[in-house]
Chains A and B, each alone.
Chain A
Amino acid sequence: MATRQLGAKKLRVLPGFRLTLGFTLFYLGLIVLIPLAAVFWKTTELSWGEFWHVATMPTAMASYRLTFGASFCAALVNAFFGLIVAWVLVRYDFFGKRIMDALVDLPFALPTAVAGITLAILYSKNGWIGRFFTHTNASGQLESVFTSSRLGVFIALTFIGLPFIVRTVQPVLEDLDPELEEAAASLGANRWQVFWRVIFPMISPALLTGFALAFARALGEYGSVIFIAGNIPMKTQITPVLIMQELDEFYYAKATALAVVLLVVSFLLLLAINVLQWWSNRHDTHNLA
């Protein structure tokens, strides 16, 4: 305990509480909170009707559908493969395991612009992967199915969301109590039943948290998507690109209205993730008891 009771006055053994907390709040306020407040202040320049008009204009609606749809699909695919990757990394031994484990964080460490141009060329009609998935487009030319398509957006969002599920599920799998599985097996459950009825319920909060984190990250993603997506309005334009486009044309109020929509969704997701983490922590202590 850093505090001890001395009469009515609390004395702290460790120094620097006011200084460090004060600086923390000052810095956060200056760098994060005040500028963020500017977004909400700027939207007040629009009336409610104008805000609604901008936030629901056809290009915006199309961008939400693409952004949310592709982010959801990417997070779902990552949930499936991420679970397998985490499982394999925790439970099995194979050649190159340490390197693969380290590489999982690559999408965190690789700048989004680098990821963006790499995926765009890799999945283009002459790229190492794209050449196997070509079709003839409307103007009669051979084109990769990923170039300037929703599929390309999905590929980019899958790449950047990859580490989230692996890194949230991996520690939970490592900490699982072997006794529970042994008990289930000795009571006659087969391996699939043990996984589905014993292991899966215990890792599902982590899986859901990882899914929400990957989804939230994908919603705001910009750099890795723009090169492969082609940014065609109504078709392959994600919401952050639409915001960027409005900004380039100096429609600040419009850009801000779209930003507020995205921010509100992000905040709701952040809240959901916190509730999930609280729930999974409670779940953990419950298991230990």
Chain B
Amino acid sequence: MTPAATTFHTPPAARRHSRTEPPAVRRLLIGVALVFLALFLVIPLVFVFAQAFAKGIGYYFTTLRDPNAVSAIKLTLLTAGIAVPLNCFFGVCAAWAIAKFDFPGKNILLTLIDLPFSISPVIAGLIYVLVFGAQGWFGSWFSDHDIHIIFAVPGIVLATIFVTVPFVARELIPLMQAQGRSEEEAARVLGASGWQTFWRVTIPNIKWGLIYGVILCNARAMGEFGAVSVVSGHIRGQTNTIPLHIEALYDDYNFAGAFAMASVLAFLALITLALKTWVEYKNAALNETK
């Protein structure tokens, strides 16, 4: 509905007046919102960086260069390096199947994809302990073959994959559903192969959503704590990821060290938010040119 059509009788000034509040109410609401956001978002964010540099920049970099910290950073990169590409591939497959085809049970499938979001991270870790732990379904087979999954790196990777399953799929499904199928169908009718259609038509259309999904997935994969905590075993220098190393430093009352590590992840979160804003802007621009 165009606004021009609706302003036929009402003069612009009166129209504006009928849809807004008195200045005092407006200022009060803005004030309440800003105080709430400052209290819960801005102050904690500033606090992370203030604490991280509380003992000086030298101490900050000493903390990050500590062998246990380096090992935690490496393990986190490895975990994200496995979990993100797998879930990205899964997300594209799931979105293709759901957005481009009709089949019964689609809503159930959508709910199943979202399932890891509604499961407590602690339970996400627990289920892998039950499957692969010493008393678990496959636990004895793996221990007979001297393969360690729980309290070792594979368990950490599996738990991380579990909690980050929905991210890419969830970004792509609504986007691809909104874009419909006609462009791909046109490409096929004009003689493009399936792959060509996917790479030349679908990917350019979904690239911003895909990038954002990957970034979100990555942020969560690098920051996951509860699920990883259950399956890790907390061996410093071996099975501690960055969040687990933060906990270890905090438990040692090394707050400046804990916040130095935390600031790395907080910085990653800020980049994620900045990219999100940029991707939304790009998507809006893409939709406008269509």
Residue of B nearest to A159 (CB): B40
Residue from A12, A13, A98, A162 within 8 A of B40 (CB atoms)? A162
Among B93, B109, B111, B259, the most chain A Cβ lie within 10 Å of the Cβ of B93
Contact B130 A42 (CB under 8 A): yes
For chain B, what secondary structure do more than half of its interface residues adopt (helix, strand, loop), or is it mixed? helix
- A28-B165, A105-B276 known; A221-B243 Cβ under 8 A: no
B186 to chain A minimum Cβ distance, whole angstroms, is 9
Contact B116 A103 (CB under 8 A): no
Interface status of B209 (Cβ within 8 A of chain A): no
Residue of B nearest to A93 (CB): B30
Chain B stretch 24-58: residues in CB contact (< 8 A) with chain A? 25-26, 29-30, 32-34, 36-37, 39-45, 47-48, 51
For chain A, what secondary structure do more than half of its interface residues adopt (helix, strand, loop), or is it mixed? helix
CA–CA, A186 to B15, complex, Å?
A: 10
Contact A256 B130 (CB under 8 A): yes
Contact A38 B137 (CB under 8 A): yes
Contact B130 A252 (CB under 8 A): yes
Residues of A near B274 (CB, < 8 A) are: 102
- A114-B265, A118-B262, A240-B120 known; A32-B10 Cβ under 8 A: no
Residues of B near A220 (CB, < 8 A) are: 118-123
Residue of B nearest to A108 (CB): B216
A84 to chain B minimum Cβ distance, whole angstroms, is 5
Of the listed stretches B61-69, B140-148, B221-229, B282-290, name the one at the interface; the rest are far from the partner chain: B221-229
Contact A87 B29 (CB under 8 A): yes
CA–CA, A41 to B161, complex, Å?
A: 22
Contact B269 A85 (CB under 8 A): no
Residues of A near B22 (CB, < 8 A) are: 191
- A38-B137, A117-B246, A270-B111 known; A14-B10 Cβ under 8 A: no
Contact A102 B90 (CB under 8 A): no
B22 to chain A minimum Cβ distance, whole angstroms, is 8
Chain B stretch 167-218: residues in CB contact (< 8 A) with chain A? 181, 184-185, 188-189, 194, 197-198, 216
Residue from A20, A41, A243 within 8 A of B93 (CB atoms)? A20
Interface status of B78 (Cβ within 8 A of chain A): no
Interface status of A223 (Cβ within 8 A of chain B): yes
CA–CA, A111 to B30, complex, Å?
A: 28
Interface status of B152 (Cβ within 8 A of chain A): no
CA–CA, A162 to B37, complex, Å?
A: 9
Chain B residues within 8 Å of chain A by Cβ, number: 102
Contact A113 B243 (CB under 8 A): yes
Interface status of B126 (Cβ within 8 A of chain A): yes
- A88-B29, A259-B123 known; A222-B44 Cβ under 8 A: no
Contact B18 A110 (CB under 8 A): no
CA–CA, A119 to B51, complex, Å?
A: 12
Residue of B nearest to A160 (CB): B40
Chain A stretch 85-129: residues in CB contact (< 8 A) with chain B? 85, 87-89, 91-92, 94, 96, 98, 100-119, 121-122, 127-129
CA–CA, A17 to B266, complex, Å?
A: 40
Contact A103 B126 (CB under 8 A): no
Residue of A nearest to B132 (CB): A35
Contact A182 B15 (CB under 8 A): yes
Contact B123 A227 (CB under 8 A): no
CA–CA, A122 to B44, complex, Å?
A: 7
Contact B96 A20 (CB under 8 A): yes
Q: List 5 A-B contacts (CB under 8 A).
A: A2-B100, A17-B97, A28-B112, A36-B115, A88-B33
Residues of B within 8 A of A (CB): 1, 3, 6, 10, 15, 18-22, 25-26, 29-30, 32-34, 36-37, 39-45, 47-48, 51, 90, 93-94, 96-97, 100-103, 107, 109, 111-116, 118-123, 126-131, 133, 135-137, 158, 161-162, 165, 181, 184-185, 188-189, 194, 197-198, 216, 219, 222-226, 229-230, 243-244, 246-247, 250, 255, 258-259, 262, 265-266, 268-270, 272-274, 276-277
